[in-house]
Amino acid sequence: MTNQELIAALAKRLVWTQRQTSDTLDATVSIINTNLEDSNSINIQGFGLFETKKKGERISVNPVSKQRFLIPPKITLAFRPGQTIKDNLKKIEVNE
């Protein structure tokens, strides 16, 4: 689903204009980004938990040249789905 498809679906469901929906979605994403930049976790009831995690620095080895190098620490984003999503995904049958 693209951003425009999401906005159209939300606008239809909320009976809003696409402009209102787009502005609301932009504001929501902005608030989420600001909180994650400040290392605050965000729990959306029925959806899941977004949180930042710090990965420490580590030493890695190039398998070809056997050269060792240092990988600096970094902050990554983690998502843990809520129980509602987990239950809904378990109900879906996989057709392979």
Same domain, 49 and 96: yes
Core vs surface per residue 61-81: b (16+ CB within 10 A) or e: eeeeeeeeeeeeeeeeeeeee
Number of domains in the chain: 2
Tell me, what's the pLDDT at 96?
56
Tell me, what's the pLDDT at 92?
85
Report residue 17 as tokens: 């204009």
Residue 86, domain extent: 41-96
- Residue-by-residue pLDDT tens, the chain, 96 positions: 999 999 999 999 999 999 999 999 999 999 999 999 999 999 999 899 999 999 999 999 999 999 999 999 999 999 999 999 998 888 887 765
Report H helices in 1-95. 3-14, 18-37, 83-91
Quick one: which H or E segment has residue 53?
A: strand 48-55
The reported pTM is 0.73
Tell me, what's the pLDDT at 43?
95
Provide the CATH number for the domain around residue 83: 4.10.520.10
